[in-house]
Amino acid sequence: MTPPGADHSTDSYLPGHGNGGYRVLHYDLDLDCRIVSNRLAGKATITAQAVQSLSRFSLDLGQMRVEDVRVDGRRVSFTHRAGKLRIKPERAIGYGAVFKIEVRYAGKPVPMSGRWGDLGWDELTDGVLVASQPNGSPSWFPCNDRLEKATFLVQLTTATPYTVVVTGDLVSRRRGAGTTTWVYERTEPTAPYLMSVQIGRYELIELAPGGVAQKAAIPPRLRTLFRHDFGRHGEIMSTFERLFGPYPFREYTVVVADDDLDDPIEAQGMAVFGRNHVDGRRTHERLVAHELAHQWFGNSLTVADWRHIWLNEGFATYAEWLWSAASGGASADSHATRWHIWLSAQPRDIAVANPGVARMFDPLVYKRGAVALHALRARLGDSAFFSMLRSWAGENRHALVTTEKFRQHAERFAAEPLSELFTDWLDRPALPPLPPAPR
């Protein structure tokens, strides 16, 4: 049993992030950001529920100065060292009790450094970018940095010339004396790493018409190139809704930062691209499809433990191939054949279902995960395969998922057992032969 207030989580890859003894229900963040000096002042009000009696508990928070901590309105003692804010309430919090934590903090936010580079709050040339996967959230707000989901309300004040985009629905925008306060609400359950803030001198435009609100925040000078490169976004959305089921959120926002980025980044209801991903030739359209697919696979359906990362990246990679086929490009079978040849030339040293923390973002996880889905499609046939995908996304909407849960789900659509197929493709490093094209 997790000891009361344990300052670790049950995640097998990142046990140092996340905390035991309680679950967060809601985050209310009131932030003031000074762009030029990179100063952030915040008040976080966190509503939580104890899952055992708590004489102490902890939150994750990076290199910020903590000024005051209260539990249910009463000042409490705390320590803040090595990324952990440890809190001791006046009296123990009983099992099942709902309580509020208020944390006032300030400082110069810096990304969380680690094996995947700098994650979380990061300065742009003229603005801010937040990309937290998998453990960058404590760089900008105190949180229980695990994969459990909560709702969010984020209020951010900054200089008026800047546009602020936060994951969620824009509730209000209030002009002050040289500043503007932007208020966003995220009512769908959201893992902390999928919350994002983007600040820049952006123009807000419509991305595509349709039932889902699709908009973009872009540098104005890139408008013409962007219109071409993202011109088929409405079609991609329609294709994925047909294949995966209804889009799981109310809105989708694409942000193009006015800096170069190595890779696009997904957040809940959002994707962030660099200016280098906009060239007027649709060079990166597969990445546009990839990031949108994450809204189903990764954001609505979120892995319960990082070892299941192929459920995010293998699915989003396969979605690239599905869009290619739907838009008149190479078929999914052609892509699977190409990448199976590539996989056959790589070392056989990774099991997709548990690649290890050092390899969780390895291209092998992405490509072999996608080929595994293609093999499953060949076994099930198109009708059963896509019925399976739609029900997988629908039945687990806004929930946590595991590889074992997916295996059990897929078995419902198969005429014969799938255990050997899954073992060969997901559990063993050896590469199985590519099956014949789907029927």
Query: Do the annotations mark residue 277 as ligand-binding?
Result: no
Query: Does 366 qualify as catalytic in the annotation?
Result: yes
CB atoms within 10 A of CB 239: 19
Report the distance separating Cα 279 and Cα 282, nearest Å.
7
The rounded Cα 389 to chain-centroid distance in angstroms is 20
Cβ neighbours, 10 Å, residue 44: 21
Q: Which residues, including other chains, have CB under 8 Å from residue 154's CB and lie 6 or more apart? A: 27, 29, 31, 166, 168, 183, 184, 185, 186, 195, 197
Question: Is 27 designated active site?
Answer: no
Q: 247, 291, 318, 320: which one is catalytic?
A: 291
C-alpha distances out from residue 140 to 70, 114, 254, 275, Å? 19, 16, 21, 24
- DSSP letters spanning 216-233: EEE-GGGHHHHHHHTTTH
Contact 15, 305 (CB under 8 A): no
Q: Is 228 annotated as a binding residue?
A: no
Q: Is 290 annotated as a binding residue?
A: yes
User: Which two structure tokens, joined as six digits, stand for 406?
Assistant: 């997916």
Q: Which of 27, 193, 252, 366 is catalytic?
A: 366
Q: Which residue has the tokens 């190595």?
A: 262
H-helix or E-strand spanning residue 151: strand 150-159
Active site residues: 291, 366
Q: Binding site for Zn(2+), residues?
A: 290, 294, 313
Q: Binding site, residues?
A: 290, 294, 313
